Amino acid sequence: MAGSPCPIETMRQVISEMNMPSVTVCYGTTENSPVTFQSYRDDVLEKKVSTVGRSHPHVETKIVDENGDILPVGESGELCTRGYMTMLEYWNDPTKTKEVIKSDRWYFTGDIGEMDEDGFCRINGRIKDMIIRGGENVYPLELEQILYKHPDVKDVQ
């Protein structure tokens, strides 16, 4: 599964109705092809649907603040990746390349995420989608996840 968060009820349906007990969740970008994070087949279902798994071998990942400093486990910031799968550049666009590929070949994804103590990554939203309300940073993805749990809400997107 990839593309957007998958509610646990949907994942249970896929596993049951499609007879697919080994579904994994993965995360990647065009600039990081094919994927950077992936869950394992034996990860608990709750981890599969609440995170994008753990980083692939030979891939470096970090969560940084607005100054590029690495954040502690559990704190939310921009997800950065580096490794064999990271693009070299945007075709004929050095300006755009410099915006996302920083020092030491780190790719700044524009995604907001956090890592837990076991190395699982949770994606919380996109920097460009952030809403500032009352001095707080609010991400639509977080709102969608809250609304989805409400019994009177059928679907959220």
Residue 128 DSSP symbol: G
Question: Model's pTM, two decimal places?
Answer: 0.80
What's the one-letter identity of residue 2?
A
Tell me how crowded residue 51 is: count the other CB atoms within 10 A of its CB. Answer: 24
Comparing CA positions, the residue from 112, 104, 114 lying closest to residue 78 is 112
In the structure encoding, which two tokens stand for residue 35, read together?
């994927």
Amino acid 150: pLDDT: 79
Contact 41, 24 (CB under 8 A): yes
Distance of CA 13 to the CA centre of its chain: 23
Comparing CA positions, the residue from 127, 81, 123 lying closest to residue 101 is 81
Contact 112, 46 (CB under 8 A): no
3-class DSSP state of 150: coil
CA 5 to CA 94: how far, in whole Å? 32
pLDDT tens string, the chain, 157 residues long: the values are 556 777 888 889 989 999 988 888 899 999 998 899 999 999 999 999 899 999 999 999 999 999 999 999 999 999 999 999 999 999 999 999 999 999 799 999 999 999 999 999 999 888 876 666 677 666 666 766 677 777 887 776 6
Amino acid 139: pLDDT: 63
CATH node for 8-148: 2.30.38.10
